[in-house]
Structure 1
Amino acid sequence: MEVILFIVVVVIAFYAYRAYMRSKFAGAFNISAVWLKRCIVGKISQNNPTGFFQLNYPMWEASNNDGTRDKRTNDTRIIDAWSELTIGGWRVRSKSSIELYSVVTALRAAGHDVALIPREQTKMTGASVIYSARQATSVMDLVRAFFNQKDMFRSFCIETCRANGYFVTESSKPGFDFYAELGGVTGLVACSCLNVSSNVGLPAIRQLSDANVLEGMPEMMYITTGGFSSQAISFASRENIHLIDGSQLLGMVHAAWGSSAAAASNIPYTEYTLTQQELEAGYPSDMQRR
């Protein structure tokens, strides 16, 4: 009986100590201890104010090349992997990469500096382009923002339309880039990033019109940072296609985010925070997310 009582006391003390350390960490960094409920917290000798973390994911003991379980065996064992964060003389570990990332996000929200992992760095590269475009004070600023990232212009047009009240549905169909609905009316939208002095020609506008032969939408819109040729303007007026040139696009940008420039280097952490879907992508596709 005494042995059992001793074991109970040790177990209670063990979990109480873990709770105490989570509470101390939460207090030191001004975050809620709720974020740490599935984490193990401890002190370390290093005292680096900048946080560093690594997300690791579990794997099947018997796995295929794509990480899924090899069903040719009966082995269903899972190899757990610890994700780890170090900051300011503390170490936080968790078997759940998603839980640890919640801690990282809470720390950033509280104003603490946590270095980016490669996936976040990639996302921030895109975010810096979009964020710079939001701060544009001229059409030339928009062109510069997408100079080496023209493939992101479509995403920016989608974001700009949404910020101006449109309900947007992305599409991979040829001839246009996305659907946009406003006031119960849905239309097709195509877009292209051009130099300020360049014009969208008739072929591009005709391509949008041809796509709508199959879609049958009542509205169409073409967005560009440049202008439109006289032939394109004439054709668009006959086909009920709304043409948004660089100046009009800049007006939409200012309507959505204001017209005062901001430091594009001060990108909010929310712009590169990984989504739940992006975090879960690290798990094998046939393993339950934990």
Structure 2
Amino acid sequence: MKTQNLTSVSEFHLMGFSQNPNQQLVLFGVFLSMYLVTVLGNLIITMAVISDSHLHTPMYFFLSNLSLSDICFISTTVPKMIVDTLTHSRVISYVGCLTQMSFYIFFGCMDHMVLTVMGYDRFVAICYPLHYPIIMNPFFSVFLLSVCFLISFLDSQMHNMIALQLTCFKNVEIANFFCEPSQLLNHTCSDPFTNIILMYLFVVIFGFFPISWNLYSYYKIVSSILKVPSSGGRHKAFSTCGSHLSVVCLFYGTGIGVYLSSALSQSPRKCMVASLMYTVVTPMLNPFIYSLRNRDMKKAI
């Protein structure tokens, strides 16, 4: 396609997973099922936490907010993809693309930050159990959640500022099923080096430090658990943080895979599969992990 000025670009075209009309109905059924399972599973987790007084603790307070964030995160991309599959349309407006990208970054960062706060909560509970009720009081829990919200909003707006600086595009076809930020940078006419540096700087600030904190937290948690004399006590301590550790590994593993595949792979198909794991599969699996690995949650449900 010819280079187009920003003023003349009113829409983008999403590649999607398949252009074959015979596969559209199958894709529609698969993604609709995954979306409904994700929404229903996370709603059950949220309602279980709200309705059971035994779960009115900081750990489950953050878990319910993680579930709500997962619902919003998957809702930024999958409903549009389902409608496109059903209507055989791949068009998204320029404003719609930036809006989708903004919410995608906001709720993705929100997931990331809430998982970090949950890691801190487990760190305090395991390493400083006697001080836990004092440190993780309701006011401080709400404060931590507010910080997560503020950082996510800041990250989203910084990416928006970069996107709004793009003056023209070489191509209006996005090789993904949603408006992925790196795809917009790849299509800009101007030298994307500065924008790429800024975007990866945001990744380091909002990604590397929380990941480092989670690694440190679980290093201290494992060290403390290994000092417990009884095997029953060690098993109980591991069970309280096993669900969170599983979700952290799944979330960060697929998230890092998206960035690595975008940087190293030239195949749009591989990038889309990596994005699918991060944006759809991970939010869908989180309720199963917490319900199957958490005894208190299973009782509440």
In which range does the TM-score fall when normalised by the shorter chain? under 0.3
Which one scores higher on RCO, CA 8 angstroms, separation ≥ 6? 2
Q: Could you state the TM-score of these two structures normalised by the residue count of structure 2?
A: 0.21
Q: Could you state the TM-score of these two structures normalised by the residue count of structure 1?
A: 0.21
Which is greater in Rg?
A: 1
Quick check: which one's strand share is greater?
Answer: 1
Quick check: which one's helix share is greater?
Answer: 2
